[in-house]
Amino acid sequence: MDEPLVRGFPSTRHSAVAAARSADAAERARGLATVASVYWRPVYSYLRLRWRRPHEEAADLSQEFFAEVVQKELLARFDPSRARLRTYLRNCIDGLVANHDKAARRQKRGGGAATLPLDASFDFAGEREKIERLIETADSPEQLFEKEWSRAVFAMAVDRLREECAKAGKAQQYAIFEQYDLAPGERPTYAALAERSGIAVTDVTNRLFRVRRELRRIVLEVLRELTGSEEELREEARALLGAQGG
Amino acid sequence: MTGIDDSALSRLRAAVREPDLSGTRYRLAGVAGTGGMGTVYVVEDTDLKRRVALKVLDLPDPGIEARLRREAQVLARLEHPGIVPVHDVGTLPDGRAFYTMKWVQGDRLDRHLTEAVTLSERLRLFLRIADPIAFAHAKGVLHRDLKPENVMIGPFGEVLVLDWGLAKVLEDATDPGAARSTGDSAVLGTPGFMSPEQKSGSSAGVDARADVYSLGAVLQWMIGPGAVKPLEAICRKALAERREDRYPGVPALAADVTRFLDGAAVTAHSENVWQRACRLAKRHRVALAIVAAYLLVRAVILLFTGR
């Protein structure tokens, strides 16, 4: 945790987009699982808001969408020089919905879902209420899709950060970060955190700083996995971390 | 996956954007603003015990880094009270390029002018904006992104032209290998304030008259609609489509605005006899009033005394 920061962009993990296009089945499964775990919430939210689909149908369509990603090898057909992955996937959702409305397509619904190499991270029912609240305040389906994408990227990065901290014996550093940066709504003061953790206020700021530095590295790592080229990575990083990032 | 609500998401974005100042003489004090290239933070210089502004890229990016460094170098060669001085340039431990400059507190021009400000005050303010630009041109530097958001009015009325990120160096005899521009050859600038030659993306064809055009747009914005004819003519000339039809440089534009303020004829506007008479009457209204008063008194004396 205390080693110097990685300069420039991280390259420790390979692109999940590239993995999803690999000839190796296990690699493909890993790539798709990563893409799906980040994108399922944006996809579901987008279907709810943009296409006005009720919960059940949006959940089914989300599953169907990822089945199509596999069956039609949509990631293999993705060209990062033409669009960002999330723009491409959003367009694919629009195509899916248009096709889905045809009766012939509807009969095939769910046909590919059973073969999906995905874990049980699609908690549509659990997230339904939260997403419905977000839908009420969203400016547009596209804005909601982007926001849910940002949230998923950070959530994945935070999960990895927690694992790394645990492995490195830095669980307390993570706990401070969790109580301060992940606190819902109002966050505690440094002094309150210091008292609660039995350390000095300067230790709180130092530990927070170190964890945030690691988080930055991991966020860039996650972005690398979710992009198909160096240029796309920079664009996405700028969108997520830059001044324009909403 | 970890649940992250909206407030935590904003905090996380800000946290990962925060510059790594470990091992430097700076300590983070706040955020001053954001721009196209990066973010400007307020930091404490622990060596000199003062607050300075630190501009840092949001990401390590060699292309944009070159632009940031070039901007710092351009600013460093422009020592003028209307241009923010640069103190330091370098790379942070997280790999991002930065430079520090004087921290200026004040209002951006677009916000400043929401207060009631008279026309002559606006024009004097405009002349103080034009001054650092004329100075930069004399040093061979074009700004290329002049607009109200890039002008700061300090608490003591000082005027500072900011954001030289798109500046272009016309001549650089001391540094022949240096890039000629802080931007690339793409279309750079802000629509509405950008000259036609900039809009066409022709970096080579841009000279001081591009800034004359932008200053004309700023002037037009500052005086608002319904201006008197000579001022309209000044704006029209500065904003001419063909640069050959514009003022040859910022001093000529500023001189015309000064003439207008002094009640003299402006070069951009040919007035008829009546307009000239009105202008002269307005310019010499005190002398005219004295003469009129004298003639009135003489008339009264003549009426009552017959002498």
pLDDT per position as a tens digit, A138-173: 889 999 999 999 999 999 999 999 999 999 999 999
Report how far residue B105's alpha carbon sits from residue A210's, in angstroms, rounded to the nearest whole number.
31
Nearest Cα to A38, choosing from A152, A123, A130, A131?
A152
A223 against B116, higher pLDDT? A223
Collapsing DSSP to helix, strand or coil, B40 comes out as: strand
Which of the residues A39, A214, A241 would you substitute to probe the B interface, choosing the one with the greatest number of B C-beta atoms within 10 Å? A241
How confident is residue A107, by pLDDT bands cut at 50, 70 and 90?
low
pLDDT exceeding 90 applies to what percent of chain A? 25
C-alpha distance from residue A165 to each of A1, A172, B93, B160 (Å): 8, 8, 21, 47
Q: How far is A42 from chain B (nearest CA, A)?
A: 14
Highest mean pLDDT: which range of A45-49, B17-21, B109-113: A45-49
- How many CB atoms neighbour CB A212 within 10 A? 22
How confident is residue A13, by pLDDT bands cut at 50, 70 and 90?
low
Residues of chain A with C-beta less than 8 angstroms from the C-beta of B36: 243
Residues of chain A with C-beta less than 8 angstroms from the C-beta of B64: none
How confident is residue B39, by pLDDT bands cut at 50, 70 and 90?
confident
C-alpha distance from residue B127 to each of A26, A43, B130, B237 (Å): 68, 54, 5, 16
Subunit contact B95:A7, Cβ cutoff 8 A: yes
Report how far residue A226's alpha carbon sits from residue A75's, in angstroms, rounded to the nearest whole number.
11
A23 against B46, higher pLDDT? B46
Name the residue type at position A6.
V
**Considering Cα of A59, then A60, then A66, then A69, what sign does the dihedral take?**
negative
Nearest CA in chain A to B57: A242
Element (H, E) at B292: helix B285-305
Subunit contact A241:B3, Cβ cutoff 8 A: no
How confident is residue B187, by pLDDT bands cut at 50, 70 and 90?
low
Q: In B8-47, which positions are buried (b, 16+ CB within 10 angstroms) versus exposed (e)? A: bbebbbebbbbbbbeebebeeeeebeeebbbbbbbbbbee
Nearest Cα to B13, choosing from A151, A180, A84?
A151
Is residue B136 within 8 Å of residue B71, measured between CB atoms? no
Range scoring the smallest mean pLDDT among A181-185, A189-193, B24-28, B100-104: A181-185
Write the pLDDT tens digit of every residue in B55-74.
Answer: 998 777 777 888 889 889 99
Residue B41 in this model has a pLDDT that exceeds 80: yes
Residues of chain B with C-beta less than 8 angstroms from the C-beta of A6: 95
Nearest Cα to B87, choosing from B71, B108, B102, B68?
B102
Element (H, E) at A220: helix A201-225
pLDDT at B203: 66
Subunit contact A212:B18, Cβ cutoff 8 A: yes
Half-sphere exposure of A186 (CA within 13 A, CB side): 3
Residues of B with catalytic annotation?
145
Is residue B136 within 8 Å of residue B143, measured between CB atoms? yes
Collapsing DSSP to helix, strand or coil, B227 comes out as: coil
The domain segmentation of chain B, as residue ranges, is 17-102, 107-262, 275-305
Report how far residue B203's alpha carbon sits from residue B186's, in angstroms, rounded to the nearest whole number.
8
Range scoring the smallest mean pLDDT among A214-218, B19-23, B207-211, B289-293: B19-23
Report how far residue A4's alpha carbon sits from residue A148's, in angstroms, rounded to the nearest whole number.
31
Cβ–Cβ pairs < 8 A, chains A and B: 88
Q: Which two tokens stand for residue A85?
A: 């992955």
The domain segmentation of chain A, as residue ranges, is 16-241
Total length of chain A: 246
The top-level CATH class assigned to B107-262 is mainly alpha
Q: Is A128 on the interface with B (CB under 8 A)?
A: no
pLDDT at A8: 45
Name the residue type at position A143.
Q
Residues of chain B with C-beta less than 8 angstroms from the C-beta of A241: 13, 16-17, 58-59
Subunit contact A5:B9, Cβ cutoff 8 A: no
Report how far residue B53's alpha carbon sits from residue A221's, in angstroms, rounded to the nearest whole number.
30
Report how far residue B251's alpha carbon sits from residue B238's, in angstroms, rounded to the nearest whole number.
12
Q: Which two tokens stand for residue B258?
A: 């000064």
Subunit contact A183:B20, Cβ cutoff 8 A: no
Half-sphere exposure of A101 (CA within 13 A, CB side): 7
Subunit contact A155:B11, Cβ cutoff 8 A: no
Q: Is the pTM of this model over 0.80?
A: no
Query: Which of B15, B34, B36 lies at the smallest CB-CB distance from A212?
Result: B15
pLDDT at A102: 67
Q: How far is B171 from chain A (nearest CA, A)?
A: 32
A23 against A161, higher pLDDT? A161
Is residue A45 within 8 Å of residue A52, measured between CB atoms? no
Report how far residue A175's alpha carbon sits from residue A154's, in angstroms, rounded to the nearest whole number.
17
The fold of B17-102 is Phosphorylase Kinase; domain 1 (3.30.200)
Nearest Cα to B211, choosing from B263, B282, B136?
B136
Residue B197 in this model has a pLDDT that exceeds 80: yes
Is residue A145 within 8 Å of residue A45, measured between CB atoms? yes
Share the mean pLDDT of chain B: 87
pLDDT at A105: 52
pLDDT at A27: 80
Q: What is the DSSP letter of B181?
A: B
